[in-house]
Structure 1
């Protein structure tokens, strides 16, 4: 018998906005600024990269608003791609999301949660099973899997449970980040660190630590500087990703034609402002330059913060040694809340694929709580496998390029649908069309070309993951 359960519209604008912001803010903002500082060596260009990231993210979100208004269905971006390009391309998107993008991010965020939990419970660092030098399982990995299972279970109990967890953790981490910014600026601006960091804000250089422990510094200008920005911006773009997850749950949002575009704008705006201010706070608290062998956080600077944990180094300046525990607690809240939104949203995309015969048939069923329980558990199982594999970091690197390609394709879909379906209902039209969407496509395409030049291996493997979906698609169609 066909399952007649339907999604219930239980999410308002506040819930939708919390999913956008909460899914974006994970652990990246506390870490990636170190790598970006080594790549650019300049406070001005560092902030420019974060500002460009925010503008790109917001312009993409505003463009998605038109598609969300036209197609307020479960599955979001997958549905938009299918309407513009057909089933094969939409399957390739869903395939990439399932194999690495959604599940890989869930795994990585869960491991980040476990890593920072081990600050309070050092026993989690212990190895549980050692199979070989290359493969072992630690209690941290088990902790990561347990957190995924717990959040999946909460989300199978209905969207009411999921939205409460998401809203609570989003508010908590926004408040904590705001406190970090305010305290950071208050403490930092009483020193001369900020003025030192901005003494020569546009003098860019790349710093590389050699195997011998020495550093090589290369000045950047012209095309070399453009290439460096294009290559390192992948860090801030990854930290600002997952804003599109709210489109996956369109069928459960009240008045989706209005509330999805609004939540996309509000959520990305909030996170963009917070990310910029957080980096200003870092520059007020810590010297940008430092040395790898530095003893304290000020000697190491932003560039060489221990394990790239810039947020922890900043908290150390504000609160002393206790700052390490405060920051660990903040990142635990941030990552747990981030995964709540990712898990809630991802199951809806796989539900939509299953409805089209492009995913496990059982994933199209809703349980008594009107949620795709089996789709959520399939997502949970694969994310857990990625936690154990230890390869999720590589998968994320490979998939980031592919993720950008699908953003470009989706926004170009607006141009296609304007031509194919000129009279379709569009409650909201893309902001600044055609200039803003075209600019996004142009700039993001330049970033992709830069990545192909500067990181050929990772981008090539990203393409390979996408292309592997082609034989899988034709095999599944032949089987049917």
Structure 2
């Protein structure tokens, strides 16, 4: 039977409604699986060594990871109020549109779709391909082939319905979390005195307590925590509006505890200096505990982590494009919504197509492609700051709007979130200022993304006036 598709030509149902639509079918467990799956990616297998190289002591090591959890919790509470008050499949786009207008929201959505989301899909695809190639090589372009297959298969799974995608996410997340638990077990195994390779000697790492050094450490920490805000994109798919608050707080709590335990295992096995020197920190820890054969287990763990983050990114990313198309008639094809399956079909297809193009480019210029995605961090923190400010503005602008959940300790909590976002914007700008991409200062990559969005805005506005 042909799927029932609704688009703008046939009186499309608005994506943004105050109450969840009748098709809302996700529960708390699904939401937690999606959030945890987005956040816990390949970063936890790499970032800790970079963080260790930028902190002066073990105390600072655990402090920055705990601070990352506290910042994420403050942000999660802000997003919980926005998502419960304005449930929308457009997430950040919807909040920015209500607070600052469609023009600002369009610039954000374009930056997210053209680089951040689709670029993350391609980059995670390469991570998945790199580690799968260790298990089953497919030739010189095997990594790109694995990446492309992952995008196609996961897109096909999600096109079958939101519950199919969420169920797949639950299983992938369970395997992913199991991998992190294995690292913690390895640390406990060594702590209990199991015979193993001696840990690296504890000597002072190259880090310092300077503001720039701690700021750079926090850039890597919050990059590893990144993604919890994407829960806003599934707020309209939840059966209960207040579930978004419980999902965010529970997810951030679980992730913070896991990250602290994993870093404890890394530190106990290798020492602070050993962490800073390690190129494959999870491999080194499991090898110290269980021997060289553990390398295969690490390859599986990282591959599953990348796959888990890809699936969750697909679920939330397609909703940005759908919400964008709802406001801009020029993109109406992306607004087509499959009511029978609860998915934005065309947005999924466009997202996958764009990601496949980036994978093809990355196959030829992989290092430059990776850098391009990382160097858009200033753009990300700029809009994160704007979302935090939108909470203040919407409180003033719409004081009578029913708010099923209000952020505690207002205005202190959102102020902490905004100030931290501003600090991270400064830190990321300081980091990319010294980087190069094809001989060009890397900071200009983010500028180019914003400018392209402004050009798109001008074209769309002219088209609206002439029709």
- In 1, the alpha carbon distance for the partners of 2:269 and 2:391 equals 43
How many equivalent residue pairs?
434
Where in structure 1 are there 5+ consecutive unaligned residues? 128-137, 207-219, 290-300
CA contact (8 A) 2:169 2:312 kept: yes
2:128 to 108, 113, 117: 113
Q: CA deviation at 1:189?
A: 5.2
Q: 1:467–1:352: structure 2 CA closer, same or farther, 3 Å change rule?
A: same
Q: Is the aligned partner of 1:375 residue 2:347?
A: yes
Greater CA deviation, 353-362 or 401-410? 353-362
Q: Is the aligned partner of 1:424 residue 2:396?
A: no
CA deviations over 1:132-168 (Å, ceiling 9, x no partner): xxxxxx1210110110110001000111210110011
- In 1, the alpha carbon distance for the partners of 2:412 and 2:112 equals 28
Report what 2:328 is aligned to.
Answer: 357
1:98 to 113, 126, 130: 113
Greater CA deviation, 63-72 or 431-440? 431-440
Q: Is the aligned partner of 1:65 residue 2:49?
A: no
- In 1, the alpha carbon distance for the partners of 2:386 and 2:205 equals 33
> What is the DSSP-based 3-state SS (H/G/I as helix, E as strand, rest coil) of the residue aligned with 1:302?
helix
Report what 1:131 is aligned to.
Answer: none
- In 1, the alpha carbon distance for the partners of 2:317 and 2:67 equals 27
1:288-367 map, 5 Å: 288-289=272-273, 301-305=274-278, 308-357=279-328, 360-367=331-338
- In 1, the alpha carbon distance for the partners of 2:226 and 2:35 equals 10
- In 2, the alpha carbon distance for the partners of 1:77 and 1:432 equals 22
Structure-1-length-normalised TM-score:
0.86
- In 1, the alpha carbon distance for the partners of 2:215 and 2:330 equals 35
Report what 1:166 is aligned to.
Answer: 169
- In 2, the alpha carbon distance for the partners of 1:454 and 1:168 equals 36
Greater CA deviation, 6-15 or 146-155? 6-15
Q: CA deviation at 1:460?
A: 4.2
2:60 to 41, 45, 48: 45
CA contact (8 A) 2:133 2:142 kept: no
CA deviations over 1:103-141 (Å, ceiling 9, x no partner): 1111111111111111111x33x22xxxxxxxxxx1210
Report what 1:155 is aligned to.
Answer: 158
CA contact (8 A) 2:199 2:288 kept: no
CA contact (8 A) 1:43 1:288 kept: yes
> What is the DSSP-based 3-state SS (H/G/I as helix, E as strand, rest coil) of the residue aligned with 2:154?
helix
Where in structure 2 are there 5+ consecutive unaligned residues? 1-8, 14-20, 363-367, 434-440
- In 2, the alpha carbon distance for the partners of 1:171 and 1:362 equals 35
Q: 1:445–1:359: structure 2 CA closer, same or farther, 3 Å change rule?
A: farther
Report what 1:293 is aligned to.
Answer: none
Q: CA deviation at 1:474?
A: 1.1
RMSD over aligned Cα atoms: 2.1
